[in-house]
Structure 1
Amino acid sequence: AACCAGGAQAPSRTYARFVRSYFQCEVRREGEPVAWFGVDANDCGYGECDLYNVDGIAYESVILHGLAILHRPNGGELKNNSIHLGFSRDGFHIARPTQPRTPFIATPKGVANSRGKRLRISNLQLAQGSPIISGDKLLFYFGYGGKEEAPHGHSIDDGPVRSHYFEATGLATLRRDGFASFSPHTGAVKGQLTTRTLVFGGGWLFVNVVLHPNGRLVVEVLDGSGKGSGSSGSGGSALPLCGYDWDSAGHVVGPVDSIRLKVPLWRNGAAIAALAGRRVRLRFHLVSGTLYSFWVSHTQNGSSGGYLGGGAFGSRSIVDE
């Protein structure tokens, strides 16, 4: 038996195995909670990481989610967190890219301070309110911490009192609407993208696009009722609407680098405003370039009417107007 303070004898303890079992319905019953969000096989195969934090902010027509994912091996102050992004339209069903899934902001390696000491950077977490719009850039502020590493690669002062631990604020920038893009396949010069069925109320089509000197962008408008497109509704075999085909379209020719470019009218003055309220699809033909986003604006200056995330410099509104 162990001795307690003052010499008293502690009572002996006997340990025994204890097993508890339970039964679970195969089908979730009404009113029971549902699994919301977590890591999956594309993150780490489930076993080497976990979800640490979820945020969300309205950006354009979606909710942009900042996700902190904790990886092995570090915990405590030196959490091995990286920043990922997700998107949803309801704040619940969060979509993320499949493989290869990489962090939006990863923990940097090989960083040194002003004294030339190597640093172990850790615990990256996106600041709520990111991104902030500055001209053609998105600003993502994030917090992080770190410690100096000893010459043998171990962090100095690994005890409970971390006198050498520091915290700081970082800034990452991204092209506006630059979360995803469409380009021709590697080795190909030309690519084609057909949207899902759309219904809009604006009158001017805008794109966020980069075209190289030999680049070209042409937009056709297809019927959105599914006629001639098969059951998939992809529009792959649908014909363009009369007056909105390749031959009638106004071609955008490179070099161009614009986050807000108005697509020219089709010939004979055909405007996309005439199709407002109608079910249509858009087919983009892209040569030597990159398409980031498109929208139909109610104004000729290209305002989208979407949310501005954490705000925009020079704007007093929370929406693009």
Structure 2
Amino acid sequence: MTSVLQIGPLTERFNTALAADYAVTCLWQQADPEAFLREQGGAFEVVVTSARFGCSAEQLVLLPNLQAICSFGVGYDAIAVEAARARGIPVSTTPDVLNDCVADLAMGLIIDCARRISETERFVRAGRWSDTPWTGLGRKVSGKRLGIVGLGRIGEAVAQRAAGFAMPVRYHNRRPVAGSPLGYEANLLDLARWADFLVLTCPGGASTHHLINQGVLEALGPSGCLINVARGSVVDQDALITALTEGRLGGAGLDVFAAEPDVPGALRGLDSVVLVPHIGSATEETRLDMEQLLLANLQAFVEQGALLTPL
């Protein structure tokens, strides 16, 4: 049986399915994971991991016979991809199967921020409505301008949903997407100035670290709203807190954070912010599809020597 090192746990359903067909060692169950890898790392042919647990360059050094990395999720900033490539180790993720659910959540966060759904739900749940009429006003969503940072598969799915709300859409990438009918903004600041809502669907990693900085937030402005379903590292979180606290940004809908699961109290205390615990792909259907695709990648590599969805 192929020797598999599983970096971190997934669902019990997945863990059981994996162990049924492969010789699996669970790294998180070792008393001293680093010492274990120093002693036993040469035994493993494949790493199974996730966007959360990753596979570091330090771990790769201790896995001299590794042949492939199969990861759960689309994010790969926690995986030492360049170090793997330098050794000819292919890396797979689980793309496409989660596009719809992440895009659905992005639209939900837009609507929640604009219509103040979470804020008013807290108002009712606290029993305040019986004593104090709700007088606050939200903002209309239909017809508002939507900017997308990162027009990949998920960004395109967000744009499709925005069409149902008659929202003009423009996007920012490193370069225009061939064949896209959407408006391209080469300058991120120009996109932020134009947009009512700025949705982040770009990858994480060094190339996008703090891409959304003070300047972008100020360009989005006191009536603008930032929606992040990408990675927490894409946003300068301190600058975001300052902009929100000082009223220089209208609001934010956040699925991801700089140091998950730690969410600063300054964000938790703001009614203008909707906070959810990284649930973009968290539906029964999508998580099952992701598990099955990871297993299919592993099976394809073992049987054919090639991954189905390599980076």
Same fold by TM-score greater than 0.5: no
Higher-Rg member (1/2): 1
Which structure is higher in helix share?
A: 2
Which structure is higher in strand share?
A: 1
